[in-house]
Chains A and B, each alone.
Chain A
Amino acid sequence: MYIFIIRRFLQLIPVIIGVTLVAFLIIQLIPGDAAQVMAGEAASEEQLEQMRENLGLNEPLYVQYGTFLADLVRLDLGQSVRTDQPVMELVAPRFWITLELAFWGLVVAVVVGLLGGILAATKQNSYRDLGTMMFAVIGLSMPNFWLGLMLMYLFSIELGWLPTSGWGDWQQIFLPAITMGTAGAAIIARMTRSAMLEVLGEDYVRTARAKGVKERLVIYKHALRNALIPVVTVIGLQFGYFLSGAVLTESVFSINGLGRLVVDAISQRDFPVVQGTVIVLALTFVLTNFIVDILYRVLNKRIEIN
């Protein structure tokens, strides 16, 4: 197990290098002169030169990348070209908000998805199964922002139960979390259903029944533990999508998260901020996958031998 974790960790290194390289190249790949693009049409020659100097654009590429990495290790992501604030200071608080939002979205997705999948699988081809799967299709095909707006209209404006926007109070969690989690719930429900159906046909489930284990335990203990193995991977991926997909939900509910930050930064051509956000998101994604891999391994004792 430890060997596996170490090996898996070593495999992370090239991925992380790749991620930083891509993020680094963002600035290099801007068509034309990056400084010109950032500084705007009206910038004078001195201003441009200053901008190049600040961004280190006059150094050879490998030196720039080296400096970039060295800064990164010190958690220095550079400075915003608009506000001169360190990017780290801009990103960190918003990152926590987005992380929190994604977490609650995931809670909704997992709870609803697992329950729906199990309910559908244990009564295959019944109305219950059909109904659950229909909801899954609707949930999957409904655009995120539209669902958010509809929820807001119903619960905030018509019923007045929940606040329309903002982040911080516990009441403000519900609507964005549901908005975010619905599509994930649908995917997890479908995945759980097919995994459960497969597992319920396994010999060891029959063995459990033959032992006299109650049907409820057969399903929630013997079958679910095995069905979870493929589902966990999907859940991990969902979390990654939630982080990057938070933009829309954050816009709808006026939440000041990472999504908002990056949208604003792009429109203001504040590339260091874009770069910083990309790095933070990508590293979180990579880390999530790492954790999922280990979890998968813990759940599935069989891989250890192979």
Chain B
Amino acid sequence: MAATDKTPILKVEGLQTSFFTHDGEVKAVDGVDFEVGANETLGIVGESGSGKSITSLSIMQLVESPGKIKGGSINLTGEDLLKKSKSQFAKYRGNRVSMIFQEPMTSLNPVFTVGHQVSEALRIHKKLGKKDARQEAIRMLKLVGIPAPEDRAKRYPHELSGGMRQRVMIAIALSCDPELLIADEPTTALDVTIQAQILELIKNLQESSGMAVLIITHDLGVIAETADKVAVMYAGEVVEQADVKTLFKRPLHPYTKGLMNAIPRHDVDMDELEVIKGTVPSSAEMPSGCRFMKRCPYASEICETHPSLATPTHNYGVEDDSGAVRCWIYTEEWDTATKKQEVQ
């Protein structure tokens, strides 16, 4: 499990990424902090528009115009990646930090063979010759469980199934033995039986290489299964952070709670799903206080002030300090504020 005592592999602090559109600035990621250690998996969970994917693209510096990283720092084993020049960072990308994406069907270039695409990163970063890179690419394809890798290396992406293509993506990402793997919804486009295979594969590869994994998903089931730690994102912010067991045992933030009760489960009967009312506010109508306020069943006057992500000190059961939550309920101020309301 977590090896938190060492320097983290990835440490993100105060990350801000905005899109500058005709209608003004859209703060897609607004002050996000987290860290992942070696051999550790951090899951970022959230719905569409939460900023989870933009967070991962920001780490890879793949945010496209009109998006821009506005502030914060992204440290990879102590080096701030945002301070590197473009050409310096290109040496990290695909080498020390790698990424796999949601759409295996479209993430591979249709006009090059699978073998070519896997060996490309090896030729760039490991400076391997054509022949050696090809050998190594075939070894990688074998490692990710592709049957008959010598033959598959000569194939074009459209000749492979979705699950196979995602394996190829993983082979590309892991070819240079990265310290950090970012997986952005790696199984969302796949069928469940294939999803099970892919998640298993990532886990096994992590065990043998000790890399840090950042997994981004909307699926709490995938989180529960793969992550050691979880960050829940809502409207560009982390609203709750905890180790995975704590989070699922006692979710604190009203949004996290709502999310958990909204999933129809295949393993238990639920009569009525709990519903989070309304939808994520657009950037124009984003409340200045707590961003979840308008959808929150507990919202009170104090929520007009923006809460910070802090260790809960009030109103929760178990005594432990592993998590953090962005909600007034778990602060001293909540008691005074609500008492005041009761008096009035």
Contact = CB atoms under 8 A, between A and B. Distances in A.
Q: So, do A and B actually touch in the complex, CB under 8 Å? A: yes
Interface of A: 202-204, 206-215, 222, 225-226, 299-302, 305
Main secondary structure on chain A at its contact with chain B?
helix
Contact of B91 (A203, A212, A301): A212
Rank and list the top 8 A-B pairs by shortest CB-CB distance, nearest first.
A212-B94, A211-B94, A212-B93, A204-B109, A203-B106, A211-B121, A203-B107, A301-B156
Contacts of B99: 210
A300 B111 contact: yes
Contact of B103 (A203, A213, A302): A203
B93 A207 contact: no
Given A209-B62, A300-B111, 12 more contacts: A203-B101, A206-B107, A207-B169, A207-B172, A209-B93, A210-B93, A212-B90, A212-B94, A213-B124, A214-B90, A225-B109, A301-B110
Contacts of A209: 62, 93
Nearest to B65: A124
B95 A212 contact: yes
A202 B124 contact: no
B120 interface: yes
A202 B101 CA distance: 12
A207 B91 contact: no
A86 B33 CA distance: 85
B125 interface: yes
B108 to A, nearest CB: 6
B133 interface: no
B101 A206 contact: yes
B110 A222 contact: no
A226 B111 CA distance: 7
Nearest to B61: A209
Given A210-B62, A211-B121, A305-B158, A299 B172 contact: no
Contacts of B158: 301-302, 305
A299 B111 CA distance: 7
Interface residues of B, number: 30
Nearest to A208: B109
A202 B106 contact: yes
A215 B89 CA distance: 12
A301 B113 CA distance: 10
Nearest to A207: B107
A148 to B, nearest CB: 38
Contacts of B103: 203
B121 A226 contact: no
Contacts of A302: 110, 156, 158
A138 B98 CA distance: 46
Contacts of B111: 225-226, 299-301
Contacts of A226: 109-111
B120 A211 contact: yes
Contacts of A300: 110-111
A209 B63 CA distance: 11
Contacts of B44: none
A204 B125 contact: no
A4 B196 CA distance: 39
A22 B220 CA distance: 69
B60 interface: yes
A4 to B, nearest CB: 15
Interface string B155-195: 01011000000000100110000000000000000000000
Nearest to B158: A302
B233 to A, nearest CB: 21
Contacts of A211: 93-94, 120-121, 124, 172
Nearest to A201: B64
Contacts of A212: 90-95, 121, 124-125
B116 to A, nearest CB: 10
A128 to B, nearest CB: 15
A210 B92 CA distance: 10
Contacts of A203: 101, 103, 106-107
